[in-house]
Each structure stands twice: as C-alpha cells, then as structure tokens.
Amino acid sequence: MIKIMLSLALALFISPAMATDKGGRNPANLQLASVSAVVIDADSGEVLYKKYANMVKPIASLTKVMTAMVVLDAKLPLNETIRFSNDDRKAINYYHSRIRVDSELPRGEVLRLALMSSENLAAAALGRNYPGGLPAFVARMNAKARALGMKNTHFVDSSGLSGKNVSTAEDLAKLVAAAAKYREIATYSTTSIYTANFSRPRYRLDYVNTNPLVRYQRWDVAMSKTGYLDEAGRCLVMKTNVDGKELLIVMLDSFGKTSPMGDAGRIKRWLASGNGGTVASAAKDYQKRKIASHLASRATASIR
C-alpha cells in the first residue's frame, strides 16, 4: 500500500493537479524549485497556480510574520524600550546573533529587525516581553491562526527556529493577505537596509533585507518574509505587484539558496507568457525525495 501511494505521489509530482487558468496558462508549463507553492490574485481571490498547497511543512522564519501580527494586535507601545536578555538567547538555543545581551532597543525597531533581517533574538525578545511571557504569546499566535482560518498551522515559538512551527502554502497565503494590511509590517518587511542604534551600551549595527528582490528594489513588493531551516528548506512569501496585478505568492522548501528568487522569476514569466522555464535536475530530484518522504510518513501514520 505504501509503495502504491508513493508511486501516485511521484506521478502527481510531474504535473500539478490544476486546470488551465482563466488567462489560458497551463500550470504544467510552470516548473518551480519549491516543493510547495501557491499564487493567488489578491483582489479576486482566484488561485492562479498551486503545487502541493496543502502539504504541511516546517516554515522556519516565516513564523515571524505571525509574531509581528500578535505584537501589533496587542497595541504594545512601539517606542517602549526592550532589553535583550540571556533568556532570549536560551529561547533561540544560543543561535548566533550580533545583538549584545543587556543592550536595548525600542520595540518598533526590534520588530523591524525581526521582519526585514530575520533577527532571531529580536523575535525571541518580542515574545518574552508580551504580557504573560512567551507561553501566552505562543497561545495567542495559535489563536490568531485559527481566527484567520489557518487550519493546518501550528506554532511553538516566536522565532521559527523550531521545526515544529508548521503550516501549508494555502494557509500562509491567508497570513500574507492579513499581514499586508498592517502598515508597520508592510513598512518594516520591505525596508532594504537599516542601521539600528542600540543603548546600554551604545553601538550601531547595519542590517539588510534577507529578500534580494526587496534589498535591490527589483520588484514592487508590499510585504515580504524569507525563512530557512534544514528541515524547511528555503522559503519566501510576498505580496507583490506584477504587471499591475496584486499577487500573494508563497514558496516553501526551495532547493538552493537563490531558488526562491529564481522561482519568483519563473512565476512572473509564466504569468506574462505562459512559459515557466525549467529548473535544475538536482532540484527535481530534491522535490521527489521530499514528496516521497512526506507521503511515506502519512502512510505510516495512517497504518498506526
């Protein structure tokens, strides 16, 4: 039974199960390096393209979009100073950060660093400084996900460093649509470069946006977030304007550091011409392995 399910999954991998769209474009012509993806017209809600859009996957630092929404929903003062602590470092398992313990920065600037540069210590500090601390913060993240109709999403931390933060491309499109309506998220997530001025002690750190399409202002992007973990692959979500059309784009588990940007270009080309280009054979092999592993896990779970 498991072998049959895997064979069906790999057969489906060859061509996404979706009919030709209203523009006459064939989804089978769009090849992506991302294992899971969705492209949605932000105004009409029409799904222009989807590929394993309901596959539950780790989402890495895409988590920080929900972190930002919870902070802003609480209407906590953005000019209030936050002090970074050893507890924050512990929360991210002492993952590298250039921010010094005991230094301070206004909450709004901490939020900017979490969104534009995916600063993990910043995301941890935002969660710890929420009323009730990190447990209350994570509970609120999950409550917000349910309120947005994100049925296959679950959070366990505010940074995304845990592989247990999971979602689907379909759910994340809902997150992006909601997040883009927050003025601060739109502004902070699309900041190209920024210098943060810390206090206690006083020092400065320069940051750049982790999305090159934003950093080099190559695209008209209204909201953006990248993510990466070994188990999540390269991830990218955006609300962007392509040829006058507002789009929600979600790409999960891309193969290779620059693959999400390559996929974005292929999506743009496909929308304009119906030709989506090609991806490297290594990326295709990577996707087959990931899909086979996912289906094997589901089959094993169903047998149990």
How far apart, in whole angstroms, are the C-alpha atoms of residue 159 and residue 144? 16
Contacts of 46 (CB under 8 A, 6+ apart): 21, 22, 40
Write down the residue that tokens 């105004």 correspond to.
43
Kindly report the three-state secondary structure assignment for every residue of 176-224.
HHHHCCCHHHHHHHCCCEEEEEEECCCEEEEEECCCHHHHCCCCEEEEE
125 within 8 A of 160, measured Cβ to Cβ: no
Q: Which of 34, 36, 61, 158 is catalytic?
A: 61
Looking at 118, 159, 224, 259, which residue is catalytic? 118
Residue 118 annotated as catalytic = yes
Cβ atoms of residues 37 and 252 within 8 Å: yes
- The reply to whether 64 belongs to the active site is yes
Residue 3 annotated among the catalytic residues of the structure: no
Catalytic residue among 50, 51, 57, 64: 64
* 3-state SS assignment for residue 56: coil
Catalytic residues: 61, 64, 118
